[in-house]
Amino acid sequence: MSPYDDHRSLAKYFEALADNLSLGTTIDAIHADYLCFEHRSHLIFYKAIKYGALLVRIIHKSMDVQRQFS
């Protein structure tokens, strides 16, 4: 799989997110308003807003999530 394929796959996830903001799970331990969902080896953090989603951060699963948000 090429990096281009991975980017296209990620773009499809973002389209799905735009259609269904409840795709993610709540992560109150990080932030009460943030949601998270996995895409392959990454975690996508976002906040549902009035007209869609605000992407907060995309990090690799191997990273320390707590540290990334402190």
- Specify the DSSP class assigned to residue 50: T
Average pLDDT, the chain: 86
Q: Total structural domains in the chain? A: 1
- Looking up residue 37, the CATH number of its domain turns out to be 3.30.2310.20
pLDDT tens by residue, 23-51: 889 998 889 999 998 888 889 999 988 88
- Kindly state the tokens that stand for 32: 């009460």
Q: Largest alpha-carbon pair distance within the chain?
A: 36
What pLDDT does 10 receive? Answer: 81
**What's the domain range around 13?**
3-68
What pLDDT does 3 receive? Answer: 59
What pLDDT does 1 receive? Answer: 59
